[in-house]
Amino acid sequence: MKIALDAMGGDFGPRVNVEGALLAAREQGLSVVLVGDQEKIQKELHRTRSSESHLLESLKEELESISAV
């Protein structure tokens, strides 16, 4: 299942949302598209240093693939 997540929402912004998205992708097999400020999202993905960050997509990448259709 693919879900979109507002990575900028909540009290703690993208930090906890990116971590939660990685956890959901890893443990539940979800495909997560992160929506929001791509620069901040990429910074958090880099900060996690997770080898599993490939499990997540950003909205920009998603829109590019939709535009190609």
By residue count, the chain amounts to 69
What is the pLDDT tens value at each position of the chain, 69 positions in all? Answer: 788 889 888 888 899 999 998 888 888 888 888 888 888 888 888 887 766 666 666 655 555 554 444
> What is the C-alpha to C-alpha distance for residues 23 and 20, in angstroms, rounded to an integer?
5
pLDDT at 17: 92
Burial letters 3-19, b for 16+ CB under 10 A, else e = eebebeeeeebbeebbe
Domain that holds residue 31: 2-67
pLDDT at 69: 44
Domain count of the chain?
Answer: 1
pLDDT at 16: 93
Count of other CB atoms within 10 angstroms of residue 44: 20
The answer to whether residues 63 and 52 touch, using CB atoms and an 8 Å cutoff, is: no
pLDDT at 44: 87
> What is the C-alpha to C-alpha distance for residues 53 and 50, in angstroms, rounded to an integer?
6
